[in-house]
Amino acid sequence: MLTRRLEPEVMDTAEDARDYDTMDHSTVNRVFVDDLLTFRSRTRESSDRRLTTSATEEIAFPFLNVLDVGTGTALIPIELCCREVACRVTAIDLAAEMLKLADLNITRADLASRIQAERIDAKHMPYAVGAFDAVISNSIVHHIPKPRAVFTEMLRVLRPSGVLFVRDLLRPQSLAEVDHLVATYAGRENAHSQQLFRESLHAALSLAEVRELTAACGISASAVQQSSDRHWTLAWRK
């Protein structure tokens, strides 16, 4: 296993934001929202606070108030709002340059009445306990040197029976695997975008590290699974 090598916590240059926004995230974002909604509809609460799934039981659980942690340029909130008519999303990020593009994307999608982008540090959120029906996050954890603070805050603002759905990169086992993933998923991007992806893979956590962090927050290890050749996913109902 490669040693974790941290990258900047905040991607806050105009070049970073532009290259991130122009990369093709459409499939990843669509799958993220597909999996989130599937999880929401097929889970029920169990007495020991763990998730269980049922092929025959589907629970209508409206996402009326959603928090997206580390929204970047707000592409996932836009994807979600195009599916979930009732939901409203608070989309937070610490990178001002990312949020400039987020506001543009939200306006272009005609979703300014349903998505509010805010410059907030995920380690110290100003929201009340239990403020959100769902807390979601895609690819923010690997940016945080000590991610437990972010998990703690996400749990604090999630209401009882709310859904926590977090996905991020897995740290590869070797440099050869890093090279393979960069070539496979960023091979058509420019050199700077490829370097951003490479650095993110080096900064990512292993599955064991994620499970250790979430266990410390009271979340069963079974809620964290490898979900692709480069991702882990935490799917849990509080």
Residue 129 lies in a domain: yes
Residue 91 lies in a domain: yes
Between the alpha carbon of residue 15 and those of residues 12, 19, 126, 180, 238, the distances in Å are 8, 6, 29, 25, 38
Between the alpha carbon of residue 108 and those of residues 112, 125, 227, 229, the distances in Å are 9, 27, 31, 33
Residue 3 lies in a domain: no
- Across the chain, mean pLDDT equals 90
pLDDT value at residue 23:
81
The CATH number linked to 115 is: 3.40.50.150
Tally of domains within the chain: 1
Q: Could you tell me the residue range of the domain that residue 211 belongs to?
A: 24-170+206-237
Most confident of 13-17, 49-53, 121-125: 121-125
- Between CA 81 and CA 83 the distance in angstroms is 5
Q: 187 pLDDT exceeds 60? A: yes
Q: Are 238 and 161 in contact (CB under 8 A)?
A: yes
* Residue bearing tokens 């040693």: 3
pLDDT value at residue 61:
60
pLDDT value at residue 47:
31
Q: What is the pLDDT of residues 44-94, one digit of tens each?
A: 544 333 434 433 333 446 788 999 999 999 999 999 999 988 899 999 999
Q: Are 41 and 94 in contact (CB under 8 A)?
A: no
Residue 195 lies in a domain: no
Q: And the tokens for 174? A: 């070797």
Residue 89 lies in a domain: yes
Q: What is the pLDDT of residues 140-179, one digit of tens each?
A: 999 999 999 999 999 999 999 999 999 999 999 999 999 9
Q: What angle do CA 217, 201, 186 make, to 5 degrees?
A: 135
Q: 12 pLDDT exceeds 90? A: no
DSSP 101-140: HHHHHHHHTT-TTTEEEEE--TTS--PPTT-EEEEEEES-
pLDDT value at residue 15:
87
Residue 35 lies in a domain: yes
Residue 177 lies in a domain: no
Residue 182 lies in a domain: no
* Residue bearing tokens 């669509």: 30
